[in-house]
Amino acid sequence: MKNSGTKSRQTERLMALVVVALLLFCPPLIIVVDRLPSFNVGWLPLYLFCAWAVVIGLAAWLMEHRADR
């Protein structure tokens, strides 16, 4: 059985992940990425794909780490 300290830490980490995801997908940052000078490369789709992959990867890592304990 988990103690409340470990459960609280996992909850804090998941909440931090939500905050990071909100920051990565906030409109001002997306506008900045969209207006980067492009050399025939669309930066916005690349940014969105990479940011989404980071969020999914961190969520998977946190949940797997949680299941190991």
Return d(Cα 34, Cα 42) in angstroms, integer: 8
Query: Residue 10 has what pLDDT?
Result: 86
Query: Residue 19 has what pLDDT?
Result: 96
pLDDT, tens digit (0-9, with 9 covering 90-100), for 26-53: 999 999 988 888 777 788 999 999 999 9
Number of domains in the chain: 1
Cβ atoms of 13 and 3 within 8 Å: the answer is no
Residue 1 in any domain: the answer is no
Average pLDDT, the chain: 86
pLDDT band at 14 (very low <50, low <70, confident <90, very high): very high
Residue 46 in any domain: the answer is yes
Residue 12 in any domain: the answer is yes
State the residue range of the domain holding 47: 6-68
Return d(Cα 10, Cα 34) in angstroms, integer: 34
Residue 37 in any domain: the answer is yes
